Each structure stands twice: as structure tokens, then as C-alpha cells.
């Protein structure tokens, strides 16, 4: 039996080392890209979850405010409330009731003197004119 001897070509040993190294490097690049992308997506999801939480709280506050306003609207539509407001302003009274109006005090004569011109004041001092 004859044994065949295989001769290696000069470039063949470089290909045997280079090709697996290239595949390994490509694999590491792809895995790194996927890990970084996953990290960025998780970070964005956390931000969006926080925003959703804040918006839900705002919606809850606004719904409570809406209920308060609706209760206020129904109260203002009641006849008793409108009657009360009119009575406070003195625009409405029941039979047998009297409306009392308190007027501000009248202005004193000092304001009238200030309205006089300088010549009128001088003539008033000299008693040439009243």
C-alpha cells in the first residue's frame, strides 16, 4: 500500500487560522451589537414606563377635579343656591323681609377745598370771596 503524502500549500495554513478568527470576531461584533441594542431598548422602556405612571397620576387628578366641577355645576343649578346668591347681593327678598343697604360715608368738605384753584383760596383768605 502506498501512502500518499499531502503537501500543504503555503497560503493554506493562513486560511486555516484566519477564517475561524474572522468568524469569531464577526460573532463577537454581532453579540456586542445585540447586547448594546437591548440595553438601550430597556433604558427607553424604563423612561416610557415612568412617563406612563406620571400621566396616569395626572389623569387621576384631572378626573377628581372634573368631579368637583361637575358637583359645583349641579349646585349652582339648584334654585336654593341661586336664591342665596341673589339674597347676598340684595337683589332678592321674601315676603315680610326687608333689605338693609349700608352706604359708605359721605365725603367731607376738605375734598371740596382741594378742588378750588389757588386764586380762589387766596381770595377766600382775604375774605373777598366765599
Supply the pLDDT for residue 129: 59
Instruction: Give the mean pLDDT of 103-111.
Output: 67
Average pLDDT for the chain: 81
Estimate to the nearest angstrom the gap between the alpha carbon of 68 and the chain centroid. Answer: 19
49 has a pLDDT exceeding 80: yes
The residue assigned the cell 415612568 is: 50
pLDDT band at 57 (very low <50, low <70, confident <90, very high): very high
Please spell the DSSP secondary structure of 55-97, one letter per residue. Answer: HHHHHHHHHHHHHHHHHHHHHHHSHHHHHHHHHHHTS---TT-
Q: pTM score, two decimals?
A: 0.43
Amino acid at each position: 500500500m502506498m501512502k500518499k503524502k499531502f503537501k500543504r500549500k503555503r497560503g493554506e495554513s493562513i486560511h486555516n487560522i484566519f477564517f475561524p478568527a474572522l468568524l469569531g470576531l464577526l460573532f463577537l461584533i454581532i453579540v456586542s451589537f445585540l447586547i448594546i441594542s437591548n440595553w438601550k431598548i430597556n433604558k427607553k422602556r424604563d423612561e416610557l414606563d415612568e412617563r406612563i405612571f406620571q400621566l396616569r397620576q395626572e389623569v387621576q387628578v384631572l378626573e377628581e377635579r372634573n368631579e368637583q366641577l361637575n358637583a359645583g355645576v349641579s349646585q349652582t343649578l339648584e334654585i336654593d343656591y341661586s336664591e342665596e346668591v341673589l339674597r347676598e347681593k340684595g337683589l332678592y327678598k321674601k315676603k315680610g323681609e326687608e333689605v338693609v343697604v349700608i352706604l359708605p360715608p359721605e365725603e367731607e368738605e376738605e375734598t371740596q377745598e382741594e378742588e378750588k384753584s389757588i386764586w380762589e383760596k387766596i381770595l377766600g383768605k382775604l375774605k373777598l370771596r366765599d
